[in-house]
Structure 1
Amino acid sequence: MTILNVALIFGGRSAEHDVSTIVARSVYEALDRKRYNPILVGVSRDGRWWLHENTEEFPSQVDSPGVQIAFLPGGGGKALVHGRNEEGRVRHVDVVLPILEEGIVQGVLETAQVPFVGSRIPTPAISMDKEITKRILRDAGFPVARSLVLGARDEVKFQFAQQTLCSRSLFVKPSRLHSSIGVRKVTCEPEFQAAVDHAFSYGSKVLVEEHVQARELECAVLQDVDQPNKLLCSWPSEIIPKDIDAFFTYEAKMDNETGVIVKTKADVDEATADRTKALSCEAFAVIGCEGLARVDFFMRPNGELLINEVGTLPGLTPSSLFPRMMQESGIPYNVLVQRLLEYAIKRSEKSRAVR
């Protein structure tokens, strides 16, 4: 059996740098060494790509002593390696798992013509922006929460936002970040302005949303390796804050024992589960997802479902919800990773055949 070189690209310039590194470590430890040879590519906070070589365990830091790597445009997996004290040499990569919450690295990989896990451009860039995602979903007829978008020069008062969104309390979020980083719930003018300033510290666009009194459900969607039109969608999971006024914060996502109860299989009836699964698959198609996605919902007390987010590269640690929902659907973690890599390779082969 041929052993494939799998490049794990992790870290990055965004505020989700640490999350990315945690996920990469989990995938690295789960890879079947009889099938795959991991190549570790750490992206530092200043954007440089560092190759970690000759390591028997996952590195403690992203930066390397000085060996950088860059994929060659049109190289079909050829990557140029360059160190301070050596001439350039070439490494071959068979498939890439980009574990970066930036939405742009996929364009580099497409230009390099190397197989990679997840959706192709522009879908990752679209899903990274909450406001654009909601606009596409709304225009396609999907139910979403009411929201306002703020640019850097916009000045909005809390009372105006309350009236516009018909909500006493509001959520303020950076539009281009996930994992609940920079998100704050606000109930008064001082909190609102502080939350807006905080959100702008992460980017140039801020989303203000109504507070939806609802249950939080999520579905995992996985594309079939051999039949791309066939989607496997899990039974919904549920995230239950221990405090009725709390929400699923970044800290809680890093430690599932903090502030929330996570039910891999939500206590909902079959009809509700079927509606949630159907909406997940429809949203997967509308956003243009490939390979995998996680679709997050709010369910109001009357049963109405609102789509909150569509994540094209959900968390992939064994304790993350996506792998747990896949496990519940009969796909163990190591098999899930293998299926994602296989799908990436087969998709690339089909694309080359079309050319």
Structure 2
Amino acid sequence: MTTLNVALIAGGRSVGHDVSRKNARSIYEALDRKRYSPILVDVARDGKWWLQENIKEFPLHSESSGAQIMFLPGGGGKALVHRSNEGDGICYVDVVFPTLLDGILEGVLETAQVPFVGSRMPAPALCADKQITKRILRDAGLPTSRSLALIDREEVQFKFAQEVLCSRSLFVKPASLHDSIGVNKVTCESEFKTAVDLAFSCGNKVLVEEDVEGRELHCAILQDPLQPNNLLCSWPSEIILTDQHAFFTYRAKMEGKGVIFKTKAELDETAADRVRALACEAFRVLGCEALARVDFFMRPSGELLINEVGPSPSRTPSSMFSKMMEESGIPYNTLVQRLLEDAIKRSERDSKPMIELPPV
């Protein structure tokens, strides 16, 4: 069997830098070495791409000198490797497993014409902006929580936001970050102002949302690369918080303390089917491909609201996505291999030459 070069691209300029690198490490350890030969690329906080030649130390230690790497546009996987003291060379990548969460890298990989795990553009960019995600879902008639967007340090009074969103307490979050980074629950004007300032320090758009009382549910989706309408959607999972957390914070996600994660939520078949059907509809409406995690709120009345759609969810062995796939019969190591194989199959499926228009 031919060994394929798989590039794991991690890091990035966003505050999700460290989470991305942990994901890459987990995927690296799960790779079938008989099938794949890993190439690890760390995108530094300044945006430079560094080839990691001492992979054993990553992510505790990353090399930010030596060899830089970049894909050649239209190169079909050819990458330029630049060493300041040795000159330039070429390496070939068969498939890429990106773990960046910025919604930008996928466009670079499409331009390079290299197979990669995840959705093609524009889905990653659309889902990276929570306000745009909500607008598209609403336009499609899908339910989502009430929200208010603030742009470029736009000011709004807490009382006004309460009235518009019909909610006594509110959530304030950066519009383009994941894993609850920069998110705060607020109940008064002073908390609101502090939370808005913090969220604006992470980007130029802030989302203010109603506080939805109810259960927090999630679904994991895998798409068949040869039959795109065929979606494997997990049974909904549920996050249950103890009194230690007011909501599912970044710290709670990273440490797992004060949180009960049920890979199979206690729902009857009818309710679970409603959640899964809505998850698949959101996946299709946003143009997602390959995989995604869809997050919900379920009010005490049973009403469902789509909270977020993540086309590049965390994929460590302990992540929600991986656990839901395991509950669906796909263990972590198998999941990693399947995602890579599906990326190659999708690329082969779509490798037909473009139709040329007649000259005007």
State the TM-score, normalized to the length of structure 2: 0.96
Q: Give the AA of the match of 2:67.
A: V
After TM superposition, give the deviation of residue 354 of structure 1 in Å. 4.6
User: Separation in 1 of the partners of 2:103 and 2:225?
Assistant: 23
Q: Is the 8 A contact 2:150 2:206 kept in 1?
A: yes
Q: Give the AA of the match of 1:332.
A: P
Secondary structure at 1:313's aligned position in 2? Answer: coil
Residue matched to 1:80? 80
Deviations 1:142-193 (A, max 9, x none): 1110010001242111100001111000000000101000000000000000
Residue matched to 1:157? 157
Q: Give the AA of the match of 2:302.
A: G
Deviations 1:123-149 (A, max 9, x none): 101100000000000110011100100
Residue matched to 2:296? 297
Aligned-residue RMSD, C-alpha = 1.2
Q: Is the 8 A contact 1:225 1:342 kept in 2?
A: no
Residue matched to 1:185? 185
User: Separation in 1 of the partners of 2:335 and 2:102?
Assistant: 23
User: Separation in 2 of the partners of 1:94 and 1:59?
Assistant: 23
User: Separation in 2 of the partners of 1:32 and 1:226?
Assistant: 23
User: Separation in 1 of the partners of 2:50 and 2:122?
Assistant: 26
Correspondence 1:1-355 to 2 at 5 A: 1-53=1-53, 55-56=55-56, 58-243=58-243, 246-256=246-256, 258-355=257-354
Q: Is the 8 A contact 2:40 2:55 kept in 1?
A: no
User: Separation in 2 of the partners of 1:55 and 1:199?
Assistant: 34
**Structure 1 stretch 272-281 or stretch 238-247: which is displaced more?**
238-247
**Structure 1 stretch 104-113 or stretch 150-159: which is displaced more?**
150-159
User: Separation in 2 of the partners of 1:26 and 1:126?
Assistant: 27
Secondary structure at 1:88's aligned position in 2? Answer: strand
Gaps of 5+ in 2: 355-360
User: Separation in 2 of the partners of 1:209 and 1:337?
Assistant: 34
Deviations 1:37-62 (A, max 9, x none): 01000000000000012545535233
Q: Give the AA of the match of 1:51.
A: L
Q: Give the AA of the match of 1:47.
A: G
Q: Is the 8 A contact 1:170 1:185 kept in 2?
A: yes
Q: Is the 8 A contact 1:126 1:132 kept in 2?
A: yes
Q: Is the 8 A contact 2:22 2:59 kept in 1?
A: no
Q: Is the 8 A contact 1:116 1:341 kept in 2?
A: yes
After TM superposition, give the deviation of residue 228 of structure 1 in Å. 2.0
User: Separation in 2 of the partners of 1:56 and 1:22?
Assistant: 13
Gaps of 5+ in 1: none
After TM superposition, give the deviation of residue 342 of structure 1 in Å. 1.0
Deviations 1:181-232 (A, max 9, x none): 0000000000000000000000000000000001000000001243222100
Secondary structure at 1:346's aligned position in 2? Answer: helix
Secondary structure at 2:51's aligned position in 1? Answer: strand
After TM superposition, give the deviation of residue 338 of structure 1 in Å. 1.0
Secondary structure at 2:352's aligned position in 1? Answer: helix
Identical aligned residues as a percent = 70
Distance 1:87 1:216, change over 3 A: same
User: Separation in 2 of the partners of 1:326 and 1:107?
Assistant: 27
User: Separation in 2 of the partners of 1:243 and 1:351?
Assistant: 50
Q: Give the AA of the match of 1:315.
A: S
Secondary structure at 1:6's aligned position in 2? Answer: strand
Aligned residues: 354
State the TM-score, normalized to the length of structure 1: 0.97
Q: Give the AA of the match of 1:81.
A: V
